[in-house]
Structure 1
Amino acid sequence: MEKDKLRFSELHTQRAEITAELYERFVEFEEDMKSLTHPVDLPNEPSKDEKRGEATESGDQFMYFYRKHKIYFPPHICETVEELNQELKDVFMTFKVHRPYDAPPGDSYETEKWRESWKTVTEDEVPELKSELEDHFRDLLGVEFERDNHTLRKVKTEQEADTETAKE
């Protein structure tokens, strides 16, 4: 019995480390995609082609790590990770194929593609899926939170509630 508890504890610790690493790699990919799709480039920033290279590298690292450790996650988390990757990959392909940043001024089609890409990464699909993934990870790690008007607050677990009741 004690051996089983120790094995479970070790598995939970390993799973927590893998979850943290996967999330870190995702955030790196997300930040690279935000930089790539940002409509304004500041002086001394890398070129869009360099940013595309950075996004390629961080995206590849994210998915390679995920595929190597996919077995640690339940199917619903895998679905969310794969949806997130697909959304970012679709935006990436828009920037690789269409290169909206190289379009002549006034090209409304390319400008619209760029605006849609920026919105996907910063306002719509990606932030929504990221929030879903964060909730999945919290649940997986035993951190219980409840979404309330875009803020998070810790929810008392039954054990914590029982402990408080016992103290009273």
Structure 2
Amino acid sequence: METTLKTLAEFGITAVTITGLIAYLGRKIFEHYLSLKIDSYKNDLVRANYEHQTKFSKLHNDRAEFIKDLFSDFTELEKLINSVTTTWQGPEWLESHEREDKAKELLEQTKAKFEKNKIYFTKQLCDEIENALKVSKSFILESLRVKRQSNFEKEDRAFYLEKEKQGETAFRRWLKLEEESQEELLKIRESLADKFRSLFGVK
């Protein structure tokens, strides 16, 4: 009887030991599996983060390059419009539209370039850029209107005298246009420069 009890006891201890060992091994295997999974997830996150950083860096570089080109276009456009509106021109001023044509060409190129890349800017900044383009166009068109009026004044003395009486001769309008365009375009350029600097954290 004692032998039987002793055998059963030993068997029970062995069974418990085996069960415990199985549980321990199972837990270790599960922990190892989890560890592998976690490492895999970590690697995936690192890879995804690297890809995101690479894409973001390229987007930032593309945006910076576009802003530089856009500001350069506005600077050149300002020079061209000032050459259109300046009163320091020769007698060919009335007949030639070469300066206006150059300014209009750059204006249209700048507008098209901006339309393709509006995604880089807030709506508020887009509105400001669109307004800058409209103002620039208005100065070019006003120059053409002044030239047209000047030709009318040369052909019709009565028309000229009437405009002189109103204080709105072509020459007066030209002087006003020169002053307004230089002042407004300078404000536009400086305002855009401030906005673009803020996008890069430059003060």
1:37 paired residue number: 85
- Paired residues, number: 142
Shift of 1:101: 6.0
1:111 offset after TM fit, Å? 2.2
Segments of 5+ residues of structure 1 without an aligned counterpart are 146-168
2:192 is equivalent to residue 133 of structure 1? yes
Identity of aligned residues (%): 25
- The CA deviation at 1:48 is 4.3
Q: Which runs of 4+ in 1 moved over 4 A?
A: 42-45, 100-108
Unmatched runs of 5 consecutive residues or more in structure 2: 1-48, 155-159
Deviation at 1:80, TM superposition (A): 1.5
**Taking structure 1 as the reference length, what is the TM-score of the superposition?**
0.73
Q: Which whole-Å CA distance do the structure 2 matches of 1:31 and 1:53 have between them? A: 14
User: C-alpha offsets along residues 99-149 of structure 1, whole Å, 9 cap, x if unaligned?
Assistant: 2665559955122321222122212x221122111111111123x21xxxx
- AA aligned opposite 1:65: K
Instruction: Report deviation, 1:3.
Output: 2.1
> Does the CA-based 8 Å contact 2:74-2:189 persist in structure 1?
no
Q: Name the CA shift for 1:101/1:51 in 2 (closer, same or farther; >3 Å).
A: farther
Check conservation: 1:83, 1:129, Cα contact below 8 A: no
More displaced, 2-11 or 56-65? 2-11
- Following superposition, the deviation at residue 33 of structure 1 comes to 0.3
- Corresponding residue for 2:135? 87
Is the 1:25–1:58 contact (alpha carbons within 8 Å) kept by the matching residues of 2?
Answer: yes
C-alpha distance in 2, partners of 1:135/1:50? 32
Q: Retained in 1: the 8 A contact 2:87–2:178? A: yes
* Aligned residue among 148, 172, 181 for 1:112: 172
Tell me if the contact between 1:36 and 1:48 (Cα under 8 Å) persists in the aligned partners: no
Separation in 1, partners of 2:150, 2:70 = 30
Q: 1:69 aligns with which of 99, 117, 121?
A: 117
Aligned equivalents of 2:62 and 2:175: distance in 1?
Answer: 40
Query: Which among 22, 30, 33 is matched to residue 70 of structure 2?
Result: 22
Q: Partner amino acid for 1:86?
A: K
Normalized against structure 2, the TM-score is what? 0.62
Aligned residue for 1:79, secondary structure, equals helix
The CA distance in 1 between the partners of 2:78 and 2:150, in whole Å, is 19
Distance 1:101 1:138, change over 3 A: farther
